[in-house]
Amino acid sequence: MHINWLGQTCVKLQSKNLKDEDVVILIDAYKPDKGDFPRSFSPNIALFSNGQDKAATLSQNPLVADTLGEYEAKDIMVYALPGPDGKLIFKIIAEGLTVIHLGRLNKKLTQDMLNQLGNPDILLIPAGGGNYLSAEIAAETVTALEPRIVIPIALQCDTDPKTGTVNDFIKQIGLKPEATEKKIIVKKKDLPQEETKLMILGKNY
């Protein structure tokens, strides 16, 4: 699975399905007020954690998930689960991996919400403070969920200049980053077995 961060909480996942076809999953493609961002996208699956207001242009008629429920397209399962304040949290099952994207989360998850999420293989967590989780609460959430890999998103970049940097999150979580790259490739066989691995993505657009 290829993982790219496009700024704010926007993430693009590129996966393979059972027929060995490429499947592109786009999460939270909201147009920013400033900075560089694609004018349009052509995903197979588009997920929106906070409705479709200010959504980017989508072509190729993708499956769109912006309300609670279970979705399936091209052998990929998506569960849109309830988060605080009516926002959605996504659990994605692809390539034998469980990926959790916490959307535009800006407050602690309840114990019931944590229980629904389980222990993901990959956790995409907004950690820049301000409109998102503070570094401290983000680190506490990682401890509660015990993912194999955690990737902080919603960090300072050209489309989100007032958001905090990744350094605060690194200090709070106390893990040394394994990688700082524009794209991360994760395979099930390479997942860490005992510890949580912290991987940092640079904005890739």
Return the H-helix or E-strand segment holding 47. strand 45-47
pLDDT in tens, 155-194: 999 999 999 999 999 999 999 998 778 899 999 999 998 8
pLDDT in tens, 118-166: 999 999 999 999 999 999 999 999 999 999 999 999 999 999 999 999 9
Q: Which CATH superfamily is domain 2-201 in?
A: Ribonuclease Z/Hydroxyacylglutathione hydrolase-like (3.60.15.10)
For position 113, what pLDDT does the model report? 94
Q: Is the whole model's pTM more than 0.85, yes or no?
A: yes
Ranges of each domain in the chain: 2-201
